[in-house]
């Protein structure tokens, strides 16, 4: 009888542990299973679409973005309290950087891989984003404002060709990154987005994306999620090429979300579906 009670207690503890683990991590992108549930195509007006498809990865799958003088992404509309789930976790790799890419100029503003955390701030034009990028000319750990929008801050978590072709995993405390970038408390997260693009440089780019999830903060681990970053003075606001973004549902995927756009200055009325 005592043995049975002990076994039952162990089983109960395991169930509680599993439930706690489930609550501490929110799966946003389940790309390893070949699923795009919740994700929509985010196109740029008059630009060709980047091709997104699944490829094998260690017995599972990964999402490949393949751009040929094109620019479109995938976006997942969510509503998350950044204080409750302040850490974003993902993995990615690239074949190579964009040769003519230069994050500081509009003409060179293309990336083989980038990940947005989009923050809602009421009116559309006040929306902000932290954009994690694989830098072309930026140094790893460097932070700069987008040449298109003062509301977008780019952080190069990887850079250059040294680790191109390798899968790199990241955990970032985007809540703290937002506070450091904008000097205020982070509002609710409104969306997560990814994009591989090369429309400005008219080149080819290939990026691969693994699963994406949001994590609850764990004491004594928070400091490990922070990576070096520097501050740069914000340039004057300029029109963003994403002014003409519109959304469509990925082929074969259900439409569960309302239209969401990346944070840019006010877009023309005809730019949204």
Whether residue 247 is predicted with pLDDT greater than 50 in this model: the reply is no
Confidence of residue 270 (pLDDT cuts 50, 70, 90): very low
pLDDT of residue 126: 81
State the CB neighbour count (10 A cutoff) for residue 60.
Answer: 13
- Name 155's Cβ contacts closer than 8 Å, sequence gap at least 6: 130, 131, 132, 133, 141, 142, 143, 172, 177, 227, 229
Write out pLDDT tens, residues 112-131. Answer: 999 999 998 866 678 999 99
Backbone phi and psi for residue 80, each to the nearest 5 degrees, phi listed first: -130, 140
User: Given this model, what pLDDT does residue 97 score?
Assistant: 98
Examine the pLDDT at 235 and tell me if it is beyond 60: no
Q: How much is the average pLDDT of 2-30? A: 55
| pLDDT attached to residue 263 | 52
In this predicted structure, what is the pLDDT of residue 47? Answer: 85
Domains of the chain with bracketed CATH: 26-271 (2.60.120.260)
Quick one: DSSP state of residue 224? G
**Mean pLDDT of all residues in 67-83:** 97
Condensed to tens digits (0 to 9), the pLDDT of residues 179-219 reads 999 999 999 999 999 999 999 999 999 999 999 999 997 66
Give yes or no for residue 73 having a pLDDT over 90.
Answer: yes
The reported pTM is: 0.76
């Amino acid at each position: 009888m005592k043995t049975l009670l002990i076994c039952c207690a162990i089983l109960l503890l395991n169930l509680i542990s599993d439930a706690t683990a489930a609550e501490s991590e929110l799966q946003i992108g389940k790309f390893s299973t070949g699923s795009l549930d919740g994700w929509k195509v985010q196109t740029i007006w008059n630009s060709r679409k980047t091709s997104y498809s699944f490829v094998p990865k260690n017995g599972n799958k990964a999402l490949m973005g393949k751009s040929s003088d094109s620019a479109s992404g995938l976006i997942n509309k969510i509503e998350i309290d950044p204080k409750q789930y302040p850490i974003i976790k993902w993995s990615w790799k690239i074949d190579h950087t964009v040769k003519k890419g230069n994050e500081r100029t509009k003409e060179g503003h293309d990336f083989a891989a980038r990940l947005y955390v989009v923050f809602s701030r009421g009116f559309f034009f006040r929306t902000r984003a932290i954009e994690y990028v694989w830098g072309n000319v930026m140094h790893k750990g460097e932070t700069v404002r987008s040449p298109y929008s003062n509301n977008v801050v780019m952080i190069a978590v990887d850079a250059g060709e040294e680790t191109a072709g390798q899968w790199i995993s990241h955990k970032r405390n985007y809540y703290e990154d937002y506070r450091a970038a904008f000097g205020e408390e982070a509002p609710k997260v409104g969306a997560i987005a990814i994009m591989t693009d090369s429309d400005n440089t008219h080149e080819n780019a290939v990026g691969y994306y693994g699963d994406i999830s949001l994590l609850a903060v764990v004491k004594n681990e928070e400091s490990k999620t922070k990576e070096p970053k520097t501050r740069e003075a914000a340039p004057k606001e300029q029109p963003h090429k994403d002014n003409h973004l519109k959304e469509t549902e990925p082929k074969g995927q259900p439409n569960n979300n309302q239209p969401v756009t990346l944070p840019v200055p006010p877009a023309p009325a005809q730019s949204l579906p």
